[in-house]
Structure 1
Amino acid sequence: MIQSKKKWHIQKPDDQIVQTLTTGLGLSTMAAKILAARGFTSIEQATSWLHMDEQAIHDPFLMNGMDEAVFRIEQALDEGEKILVYGDYDADGVTSTKVLLDVLYDLGADVIFKIPNRFTHGYGPHIDLFQEAYDEGVRLIITVDNGISAVDQVRYAKDLGMDVIITDHHEPGDVLPEADVILHPRVPEDSYPFGELAGVGVAFKLAHALYGELPEHLFEYVAIGTVADLVPLEGENRYFVKRGLEALRHSYNPWVHAMCEVSGQDQQKIDEESIGFLFGPRLNAVGRLGEARPAVELLMSDDETKAMALAKTLNDANTDRKDLVKTITDEAIAMIESDDVLKNSLVLVVAQKGWNPGVVGIVASRLVEEYYKPTIVLCIDEEKGTAKGSARSIEGYHLYNELAKNRDLVPHFGGHPMAAGMTFPAEHVDELRRRLDTQARACLTEEQLQAKLFVDIPLTLEEITVDAIEDIAKLGPFGMHFAKPIYALEQMQIASMKKIGAAHNHLKLEITDGALSIDAVSFNNGHLADELTYGVNVSFVGDVSINEWQGRKKPQFKVSDVQSEEWQLFDIRGIRQTSRWLQQLPIEDVQFIAFEDVTITHYASLLPKPILHVLRNDEEISTHGFVVLLDLPQNVQMLQTLLLEKKPARIYAHFFVKDSHYFSGMPSREQFAWFFKLLKQNPNLHWREHFPKIATQFGIQEDLLKFMTKVFFELEFVRIDKGLISVNPSPQKMALTEAPAYKERQSRIELEQLLLYAPYAELKQWFTANMHNNNM
């Protein structure tokens, strides 16, 4: 049995709808199933999604305040006023800054930009930077991707005599800043046809209005900010990203070439994942660790050499960021695992001095993946006496509302149901942890604390073709509210598998349904090679892709999770070196089982856990657990009883035997007769002295001579006195099979044949039959 990491919910699309979409749209069944699973029920509905055009773009002047914003900016252009574009340090803020700088430069503006430092200024407008801008002659400030909550800062700028235009998309508060103009897709509510624009989307709308026509040369920037900021990929956002990806694949901009070079991305194959996993993190990295200015300068650069140098700077920062995340994550996990109170809390709150506040949000996400609990990661500033950090939640735990119940402890926080940021006195950390745990126990159920995975569709191997996978690309781009599909392969078997990678931490396998097969790979799951066995029905979830090698294309399944309801047999018979098979075991979960005292003596110093004796410790052996059968039972009934009562979910069969009888076998009647005749002809043989010579002379094992002697002795065919063997002149007539030694050896040989030397398939079949044999 293999437990999946998450609880799967596999959707079963309506067959009739799938057939309608397949026929009407000319799509593969895979693509049609995905659309059906996502709620598309008609050809018209699916067509409008698949074939978006410029009609998806709304008139920018529909946005409240656009007329006033354009008028004020044109006034600044006419009068030569200096303009400040005030951005943000993430990918959305950086691309927003680039978009607005481009249009203002094109229109001849005297313009500069500033981006706050995460550590010095924090998020959003800062009065020091506004004062700095005023001193530099700025008379008009335009914020991008921030400002909607900057009530005090805007008032400060206005008091200095500057005008302020806010362009933002974040959640507005109850009180809005007294800016000259606010451009926000949800302010007032429902005033603009599409309210889910990213910050760069709002900047793009302003650029569209200022240019007087659709600025197609800016699509690549709006695509990056939109994907990176995780806004829903529907409506205008979907069109922005679709057009932006096309532009990026054919872009001549030096920064695109440089970014592809440092990230190893083929420019012709740029997709939404390239932005989400390669470009976005690099644009974010510099702002997480220090100044975000190099990211803007990269996007602004028109020189190949400068662009490459800046791209390398971003790439190095991203490497440092990943190292920092790993270090802090490892430290946080060690902290949790070493503290039972913390580990058992339903809300994880970890705090440490020296942690970088720029990456704790990522760390919190990693900890949620690891423990599936709401998590807060805090950086302690001992000098200021504050705790500053980020939080991530799970479905069912409204993070913002739960934090709001503790305003006496956490006066400064913001966020939404799934994420938040906060700063509060460090002395309140422990009390906040205690309170949030109490609140979680009142609202979270056991089911809610189990991670869920929503699988779009089950597939057959017959459906997975290169053409079908290429067909799926027509459904993209994928992102928030239209996630990349997750597929299931149910009740498959493994044809082959092996660990790959320098650290053997990845898994390559071949999955089969008995008739067809597909190559598969599972990254960072090399350990599954020690948990999966052949001949067991296994279900897989993951993604499909095309593996291209030397011009040949083949479909491939990327496994993210596995599960099996069947018990598993792991064959570690015949491996003499204990260390070799021991490393294959999940030590924390297995129980070592022995039938003989001598086995316990032999292995006591070699194994990391105590050995349970079947007869003495039967009640301690777990039902449905993982067991290692160290040796053979004294008889088959002992093992049958154990299997029927305990029904192990996983069996590691070792069956160590110090002296096997199977291959030496049972002497034939002719051998018994020959040896008895030899004893009669040579009275008073001394077994110690003569058996080695007899064994060598007649080519028979010395152990067999000893065994036959024991049989003769038990049947009183011979006498033994001080090692001397003499034949009884008048023995009672008895069959050889009556001797206890004969019966014991015969039983042992049969047991070894059944358990120790049987082929794997036969052994698995025997175990299965005896775990469910109710007629024993």
Structure 2
Amino acid sequence: MIQSKKKWSVQTISQEQAEEFAKTLQVDVLVAKLLLARGIDTELAAKEFLEMDASSVHDPFLFSDMQGAVERIHTAIERNEKILVYGDYDADGITSVTVLMETLTSLGATVSFKIPNRFEDGYGPSERLFRLAHEEGVSLLITVDNGISGVSQIALAKELGMDVILTDHHEAGEVIPNADFIIHPHLEENYPFSDLAGVGVSFKLAQALLGRIPEEYLYLVAIGTIADLVPLQGENRYFVKRGLELMRTKPTEAIRALASASGVELSDINEETVGFAFGPRINAVGRLGSADPGVHLFRSDSKEEAALYAKFLQDKNKERQSIVKSITDEAVAQVETGPLPSVLVVFQEDWNPGILGIVASRLVEKYTRPAIVLGIDLEKGIAKGSARSIEGFHLYQEIAKNRDIVPHFGGHPMAAGMTMSLDDLDEFVARMQAQGDEVLTQDHFIPRLTVDIPVELSEINVQSIESAAKLGPYGMGFAKPVYAVKGVEVKSFRKIGASSNHAKLEVTKDGHTLDVIGFYQGELVDQLAPMTSLTIAGDLQINEWNGRKKPQLMLEDAMSSDWQLFDVRGIRQLYRWLNQVPQGDAHYVAFHEETIAAYQDQLPERIVKSSELEPKHSSVVLLDMPAHEQQLDEIVTKSEWSRIFAHFFTPSEAFFDGLPSRDQFKWYYGFLMSKEKFALKEQGAQLARHKGWSEQTINFMSKVFFELDFVRIDNGHLVVNKESERRALTEAPSYQQQQQRIELEQVLLYAPYRELKQWFDAKRQHRS
């Protein structure tokens, strides 16, 4: 039996319905199943989804303050006023700034930008930077992706005489800043889509200012939208889909440089490229220092300039990776000093606040608990950091309950940032853990795996996978599909990778095969035995090598209700297979006293005799050969073992000793008849050498004759009993035992794996 690591939720799609839907849409059955699984179950809805175009983009003037904001900006341009675009230091903020900088510059505005330094200014609006902007003559301030909780900072900007246009998409608090115009999808009744990223809101302002859909900026919208993990639905879906197309077909110098630095082919750019290659590099600069180089990269006109900035982002990302690993190791060490609380809160002096969100994500992945990671600044007397959450624990709302001690915070249900006084840190930790205890149960701490589609191996091919890929982009709100295949047989399995920490399997069913790759799942190989029936779940991809395309499944999880036979027959070196035996959950069984004496010091557990066996463990290790089949029957009936390790060591093998032939018995009996008496002990070895037999053969035939009353022992000599009745050799107990032992060894020691497995299967079925 192999336990799944996650709690599966599997959708069931009718095969008949899927085939009918596929026929209607003229698509692959796999595609039809995925559409149905996502609730797209009518021809009209499917066509709208599959044929999404620019008609999905809404009128920006549905925002109630959009008209006023556009008029104020045009007035500023006409009057040559200084405009400042004030952004944020992550990928969403950097792309938001770039969209408006490019838009306003194209309209002839006198415009500059500022992005707060997270180490000097923290998250959100900065009074220091607002005062500096005022000193520089800025009269119109436009904030993008910078939060909506800076009530006092916006009030200061107004007091200084600047007009403020606030654009944002974060959770709004109870008090809204007194900006002149606010463009925020969560605060609108008339705008039909509320899940725009910060760059999406900036794009709507750009669209309104230009009076058209500025496609040339959609690649920026795609990057910010993917990186900020907002739902890929509605407008966002179109923005990302079209933006990715433009990156592949009409790349800017910035995209060319980013792709080169990331080792990505332009033609291969997709949502995963942005999420796992571009996004981390763009975020890295803001995490470690000034985010301005990110904006400069996207505004670069020359190949050389773009390459320089991309190289800078690449170097910062490498530095960021090193710091993340170091802090993650320290955070894990803190967590594991005691029992796991419902909410993890770790903190330490000099932790770089720029990467604490990543560390929090790593903790969530490892422990499936909300995680808050704070850096301590003793000089300023503050704790500052980031948090990530799990389903069921709304971070923003839970942190908001502590406004009295957390004056600065912002974020979403799943992610947040915060700053507080060190004096309140202990109180904050106690409160958050108490809130976690109220909201969360043990069920929340089990990782979840949502399986969209159970499929048959016969449905998986290159064409079906390529068709399903066209349903992308995948991301938040439209996750990459997870497929499950039930009842596949493991054909081969091995560990791969420099550290042997990955798994590679080949599975088969009804004549179809599939390669399976499990990154960081090398331990699965230790649990597998040939012929194991598995249910596997993961992402279907295409592996292309030397021009040949082949389907493969990237494994998320696996489980099996099958019992497993581990064939370790003939492997005398115990270290080669003992690591596969579950420690503390296995019985080591011996049928012979000499086996116990020989093996006990080499094993981690006490060896028990078959008669002492208790069904309290899930695995049993059969160290040696039973004397007869009934002994194994007794073990199989003791418990429904999930794992049986067959070692079956024997010092001498009856199969190779064999049974003497009838001619051998006939000659030996005639020999004894010709002798008045025969001294077996003294002359047996000499006779064996003369005949070219083993001494065991002579001894065995003598014992059979004695049991059949053909001979008697007289003062240590064999004497033929001439009055004995004629009897068959098979009537002798020794002959029967040797015959049974040979048959048993034929199965247990020399049968191929499949036959041995079937033999045990029959035993288990007979028991039930």
* TM surpasses 0.5: yes
Query: Unpaired runs of 5+ in structure 1?
Result: none
The answer (yes or no) to whether the contact 1:497–1:509 under 8 Å persists in 2 is: yes
Amino acid at match of 2:755: E
Residue 51 (1) aligns with residue 33 (2): no
Shift of 1:610: 4.0
In structure 1, the residue matched to 2:754 is 761
Secondary structure at the counterpart of residue 550 of structure 2: strand
Secondary structure at the counterpart of residue 654 of structure 2: coil
Secondary structure at the counterpart of residue 248 of structure 1: helix
In structure 2, the residue matched to 1:487 is 483
Q: CA–CA distance in 2 between the matches of 1:95 and 1:251?
A: 18
The answer (yes or no) to whether the contact 1:56–1:236 under 8 Å persists in 2 is: yes
Shift of 1:104: 2.0
Post-superposition CA distance 1:29-80 (Å, at most 9, x none): 1111111111122211211122122221222222222222222222332333
Residue 632 (1) aligns with residue 625 (2): yes
Q: CA–CA distance in 2 between the matches of 1:256 and 1:732?
A: 105
Residue 142 (1) aligns with residue 135 (2): no
In structure 2, the residue matched to 1:544 is 540
Residue 455 (1) aligns with residue 451 (2): yes
Distance 1:31 1:141, change over 3 A: same
Shift of 1:168: 0.9
The answer (yes or no) to whether the contact 2:679–2:718 under 8 Å persists in 1 is: no
Q: CA–CA distance in 1 between the matches of 2:423 and 2:745?
A: 66
Amino acid at match of 1:560: E
Q: CA–CA distance in 2 between the matches of 1:745 and 1:269?
A: 68
Amino acid at match of 2:124: G
Amino acid at match of 1:113: F
In structure 1, the residue matched to 2:656 is 663
Q: CA–CA distance in 1 between the matches of 2:327 and 2:608?
A: 40
Distance 1:398 1:208, change over 3 A: closer
In structure 2, the residue matched to 1:653 is 646
The answer (yes or no) to whether the contact 1:82–1:137 under 8 Å persists in 2 is: yes
Post-superposition CA distance 1:594-623 (Å, at most 9, x none): 34443333333323344444434x34x525
Shift of 1:387: 4.2
Which region of structure 1 is more displaced relative to structure 2, 735-744 or 409-418? 735-744
Q: CA–CA distance in 1 between the matches of 2:688 and 2:331?
A: 67
Which region of structure 1 is more displaced relative to structure 2, 298-307 or 11-20? 11-20
Find 1:512's aligned residue among 491, 497, 508: 508
Pairwise mapping of residues 50-199 of structure 1 onto structure 2 (< 5 A)?
50-187=50-187, 189-199=188-198
In structure 2, the residue matched to 1:273 is 272
Residue 246 (1) aligns with residue 254 (2): no
Amino acid at match of 1:69: A
In structure 2, the residue matched to 1:368 is 364
Shift of 1:202: 1.0
Post-superposition CA distance 1:734-765 (Å, at most 9, x none): 97767776565445434333322222222222
In structure 2, the residue matched to 1:206 is 205
Q: CA–CA distance in 2 between the matches of 1:328 and 1:79?
A: 50
In structure 2, the residue matched to 1:229 is 228
Shift of 1:391: 3.0
Residue 727 (1) aligns with residue 718 (2): yes
The answer (yes or no) to whether the contact 1:34–1:456 under 8 Å persists in 2 is: yes
Secondary structure at the counterpart of residue 186 of structure 2: coil
Amino acid at match of 1:478: Y
The answer (yes or no) to whether the contact 1:185–1:191 under 8 Å persists in 2 is: no
Q: CA–CA distance in 2 between the matches of 1:708 and 1:641?
A: 31
Q: CA–CA distance in 1 between the matches of 2:134 and 2:714?
A: 115
Count of residues in Structure 1 that have an aligned counterpart in Structure 2: 764
Q: CA–CA distance in 2 between the matches of 1:708 and 1:123?
A: 93
The answer (yes or no) to whether the contact 1:144–1:168 under 8 Å persists in 2 is: yes
Pairwise mapping of residues 371-770 of structure 1 onto structure 2 (< 5 A)?
371-382=367-378, 386-403=382-399, 413-424=409-420, 439-587=435-583, 589-616=585-612, 618-619=613-614, 621-623=615-617, 625-672=618-665, 674=667, 691=685, 698-705=691-698, 717=711, 726-728=717-719, 733=724, 745-770=738-763
Q: CA–CA distance in 1 between the matches of 2:405 and 2:603?
A: 50
Post-superposition CA distance 1:547-584 (Å, at most 9, x none): 22333333333222111111111111111111111233
Post-superposition CA distance 1:679-732 (Å, at most 9, x none): 8869886969983x66655443455455556667888957699xxx64347699
CA RMSD of aligned residues (A): 3.2
Q: CA–CA distance in 2 between the matches of 1:684 and 1:332?
A: 83
Amino acid at match of 2:756: L
Distance 1:338 1:741, change over 3 A: farther
Amino acid at match of 1:199: G
Which region of structure 1 is more displaced relative to structure 2, 643-652 or 745-754? 745-754
In structure 2, the residue matched to 1:315 is 314
The answer (yes or no) to whether the contact 1:349–1:375 under 8 Å persists in 2 is: yes
In structure 2, the residue matched to 1:36 is 36
Q: CA–CA distance in 2 between the matches of 1:681 and 1:378?
A: 98
Shift of 1:8: 1.8
TM-score by length of 2: 0.90
Residue 220 (1) aligns with residue 219 (2): yes
The answer (yes or no) to whether the contact 1:8–1:452 under 8 Å persists in 2 is: yes
Distance 1:409 1:100, change over 3 A: closer
Residue 8 (1) aligns with residue 1 (2): no
Amino acid at match of 2:280: P
Q: CA–CA distance in 1 between the matches of 2:404 and 2:619?
A: 49
The answer (yes or no) to whether the contact 2:167–2:198 under 8 Å persists in 1 is: yes
Shift of 1:123: 1.1
Q: CA–CA distance in 2 between the matches of 1:424 and 1:597?
A: 69
Post-superposition CA distance 1:248-280 (Å, at most 9, x none): 001242221122122222211211121112111
Distance 1:707 1:199, change over 3 A: same
Shift of 1:626: 2.6
Shift of 1:444: 3.9
Distance 1:113 1:332, change over 3 A: same
Q: CA–CA distance in 2 between the matches of 1:306 and 1:682?
A: 111
The answer (yes or no) to whether the contact 1:288–1:358 under 8 Å persists in 2 is: yes
Q: CA–CA distance in 2 between the matches of 1:43 and 1:751?
A: 63
Distance 1:636 1:348, change over 3 A: farther
The answer (yes or no) to whether the contact 2:384–2:418 under 8 Å persists in 1 is: yes
The answer (yes or no) to whether the contact 1:713–1:720 under 8 Å persists in 2 is: no
Amino acid at match of 2:237: R
Secondary structure at the counterpart of residue 379 of structure 1: strand
In structure 2, the residue matched to 1:306 is 305
Q: CA–CA distance in 2 between the matches of 1:450 and 1:368?
A: 11
Shift of 1:176: 1.4
Post-superposition CA distance 1:630-655 (Å, at most 9, x none): 22334433332222222111222222
Post-superposition CA distance 1:512-553 (Å, at most 9, x none): 222222333332223322222332321111122222233333
Which region of structure 1 is more displaced relative to structure 2, 263-272 or 520-529? 520-529
In structure 2, the residue matched to 1:297 is 296
The answer (yes or no) to whether the contact 1:17–1:41 under 8 Å persists in 2 is: no
Shift of 1:99: 0.8
Distance 1:285 1:239, change over 3 A: same
Shift of 1:221: 0.5
Secondary structure at the counterpart of residue 386 of structure 2: strand
Q: CA–CA distance in 2 between the matches of 1:572 and 1:383?
A: 62
Shift of 1:676: 6.7
The answer (yes or no) to whether the contact 1:390–1:420 under 8 Å persists in 2 is: yes
Post-superposition CA distance 1:294-315 (Å, at most 9, x none): 2222212222233223223322
Secondary structure at the counterpart of residue 119 of structure 2: coil
